[in-house]
Amino acid sequence: MIRLLMIGDIVGRPGRRAVKDNLPGLVQEQSIDFVIANGENAAGGNGITREIARELFACGINVITMGNHVWNKKEIINFIDNEIRLIRPANYPPGTPGKGYGIYNVNNNVRIGVFNLSGRIFMPELDCPFQSAGAILPLLKEKCNIILLDFHAEATSEKIALAYYLDNAISAFCGTHTHVQTADERILPGGTAYITDVGMTGPYESVIGVKKELVIEKFLTQMPRKFEVAAGLYQFNAVRIDIDEETGIAENITRIQNFE
């Protein structure tokens, strides 16, 4: 059995502190074999830098996935092609910097395929995630028994539909992007571990990571506000997934919420 940990969108400094404080202990106490984390908000709330990626890898994260904020820190273009542990949504157009999936070794003898897709409902106009998944899966299945998808999307309908579409073809389907953990974690009929959204790892008293006063003012005035990551105590949101490495079938998915 392989035990994965998927961490929800890490937001800014409080999110990184949450990872540093929680991850090493979790990995040891819960015998985690492999850690994936969504890092699209890791640098100041949006995007990621080389330094911050290194910082996260150093905490024990094995693969960083991204989302609609992937390009917010422009320097990512300089290192994403050389950093195979950092992937971005695979349904960006052909020719986009970086890769949408990777194959990694776990415990030296097991291979895990991780891919990242973005939704299209209420999101930027990317290639169809259903078609993209169909194109990537054969490449991964050829080499890996265990496959995890980070589907970064807004609409619950798109997330659940893609999960059923991929049920049995992948081991784990983790939704991200809304920054709120959902309470619908389960094993789908075909054996895929599922959750609509893993949630956010970032400031607790905030509007999805942002200072609440700024967001309220934005809604009240409809005038532009520069958003800032909220300060204060953090929350750490993740799911732990157990997968049979022979069959790729998930046996368990458990939600994790730690608070500072």
Q: Which of 16, 17, 69, 159 is catalytic?
A: 69
- Residue 71 or 101: the one with the smaller Cβ distance to a copy of itself is 71
Confirm or reject binding of residue 58 to a copy of itself (CB under 8 A): no
Confirm or reject binding of residue 138 to a copy of itself (CB under 8 A): no
Confirm or reject binding of residue 221 to a copy of itself (CB under 8 A): yes
Confirm or reject binding of residue 93 to a copy of itself (CB under 8 A): yes
Measured distance CA(29)–CA(27) in Å, rounded: 6
CB 194 within 8 A of CB 187: yes
| Single-letter code of the amino acid located at 165 | Y
Confirm or reject binding of residue 194 to a copy of itself (CB under 8 A): no
Q: How many residues bind a copy of itself (CB under 8 A)?
A: 54
- Residue 69 a catalytic site member: yes
> Which option in a copy of itself, Fe ion, none does residue 248 bind, with CB closer than 5 to 8 A by kind?
none
> Which option in a copy of itself, Fe ion, none does residue 9 bind, with CB closer than 5 to 8 A by kind?
Fe ion
The annotation status of 68 as a binding-site residue, yes or no, is yes
Phi, psi of 194 (to 5 degrees): -135, 140
Residue 31, Cβ density class (10 Å: 0-12 exposed, 13-18 middle, ≥19 buried) = exposed
Q: How many CB atoms lie within 10 A of CB 142?
A: 9
CB 83 within 8 A of CB 65: no
- Residue 60 or 119: the one with the smaller Cβ distance to a copy of itself is 119
Residue among 243, 8, 254, 65 at smallest CA distance from 147 = 243
Q: Which residues are paired to 193 by β-bridges?
A: 172, 187
Query: What Cα–Cα distance (Å) separates residue 260 from each residue in 22, 29, 138, 216?
Result: 10, 18, 42, 24
Rounded least distance, CB 112 to a copy of itself, Å: 26
CB 181 within 8 A of CB 255: yes
- Residue 33 or 197: the one with the smaller Cβ distance to a copy of itself is 197
Taking each helix axis as running N to C, give the angle between helix 12-29 and helix 50-58, from 0 to 180 degrees, rounded to the nearest 10: 20
Rounded least distance, CB 223 to a copy of itself, Å: 5
The annotation status of 179 as a binding-site residue, yes or no, is yes
Binding site for a copy of itself (CB under 8 A): 71-72, 92-96, 120-122, 124-128, 130-131, 154-158, 160-162, 164-165, 178-184, 189, 196-197, 199, 205, 207-208, 210, 212, 215-216, 218-224, 255, 257
- Residues recognised as catalytic: 69
Q: Which residues are annotated as a binding site for Fe cation?
A: 9, 40-41, 68, 152, 177, 179
